[in-house]
Structure 1
Amino acid sequence: MAAAAAISGAKRTLRAEMKQRLRALSAEERRRQSRLLTEKVIAHCKYQESQRISIFLSMQDEIETEEIIQDIFQSGKTCFIPRYKFKSSHMDMVKLFSAEEIFSLPKTSWNIHQPRDDEVREEALSTVRGCQDAGQSVLMIQGRRLTASSSRHSSALVSEDLASALSFVTL
């Protein structure tokens, strides 16, 4: 029990430190880093080979993903975004029909656009299994802190189904 409490305290401290560092970044520095990441992602062979891309919608303190989402649609790829259930650890990656659609979606309590729970949409994991022509799939998640073994540590939700389908590629 003491070890669990110590780990929990260390995580709390690390989260606070990371939050402080992210807040200290200027808007210009965040845009610069976003551009660099966007260039790396779009040039990456896995991205180039993939026809189905799952990507998070960025929050104010995260790397901006709008240009990547624009490229997904301009390249004729299929885009999936997160839809999480309130007070649950369940999250699905559901189809987005256009980059412009994002702004018409309702916002969650975290101020993130996502489709309504009662709206039926194609889900990335349920449609790719057993489908020969689905193409490579890429899942991009915001990893505020990644360990050397690529374990992800963030407050974002990743369902067990989703986590079991992941293999990490670092940029």
Structure 2
Amino acid sequence: MTATLKASKNVVRRQMKSVIGALTTEEKLRQSQIVTNMLLQRPEYERSRRVAAYVSKADEVGTEQLIRCIIESGRACFIPRYWERESRMEMLRLRSVEELSALPSTAWGISQPSGEDADSRENALLTGGLDLIVVPGRAFTADGGRLGRGGGYYDVYLGRLRPEAGYLGPQPSTVGLAFRQQVLPNLPLDKADVPLQLVLYPPPEAGNT
């Protein structure tokens, strides 16, 4: 990545931090509800049986209701576990809704399994793969472009699922969830930024504040 591209990405990230920070809690909840309902009605979700969903932070489209729906529907729900020093991410099984509120929080403010708990959980890629991966982001384009927070965790993970990387499991659908304000006409991206198949966000009439 060139220094110019890296700088351009960081400019967008700072802009998005400001834009999302200006949204009220009520507005974020409202848009999150709209986007969740959109996803639950999508064929990508309806035909899935093994779903990975991020555990949302305050500046992301909320996923608590989505995770509840996944588990209560009888689907297998997986959430990300990050290994900071290894720049590694795995999707691990969340067995119940109650477990979600009991997860410890990292220094990044992310709730995830830790220590021996993580080691004891089912790893999606070792036990049948995934049908659907719900992906967070800092900014998106309507056609699937995604700019993350800069850690590269999702780009590396999605890259591992490509046939050319030796992955022989099912190819999951990839869906980004966004506040309407996070969707831009274009983004400074390079070949390392893995595009998503779909980005869901409220339509203009539903997303205006």
Partner of residue 36, structure 1 = 34
Pair 1:140-2:126 in alignment = no
Whether 1:115 and 2:109 are equivalent positions in the alignment is no
The number of residue pairs the alignment matches comes to: 163
User: For the residues of structure 1 that align with 2:47 and 2:140, how far apart are their CA atoms?
Assistant: 25
1:81-109 Cα distance to aligned partner (Å, 9 max, x none):
00011223200000001111012122111
Which portions of structure 1, spanning 4 or more consecutive aligned residues, are displaced by more than 6 angstroms? none
Alignment of 1:1-171 (within 5 A): 4-119=2-117, 120-129=120-129, 137-147=131-141, 150-155=144-149, 157-158=153-154, 160-165=156-161, 167=174, 168-171=197-200
What is the distance in 2 between the residues matched to 1:128 and 1:115? 20
**Structure 2: runs of 5+ lacking an equivalent:** 162-171, 175-196, 201-209
Task: Give the unaligned 5+ runs of structure 1.
Answer: 130-135
TM-score by length of 1: 0.86
Q: Distance in 2 between matches of 1:96 and 1:121?
A: 8
SS of residue matched to 1:112? coil
TM score, norm. by length of structure 2: 0.71
C-alpha contact 1:51 1:77 (8 A) present in aligned 2: yes
SS in 2 for 1:140: strand
Tell me if structure 1 keeps the 8 A contact 2:89–2:157: no
Q: Superposition RMSD on alpha carbons, in Å?
A: 1.9
Deviations 1:6-60 (A, max 9, x none): 2122111111101000000111110110010010011111101111110000001
Question: Does structure 1 retain, via aligned residues, the 8 Å contact 2:79–2:112?
Answer: yes
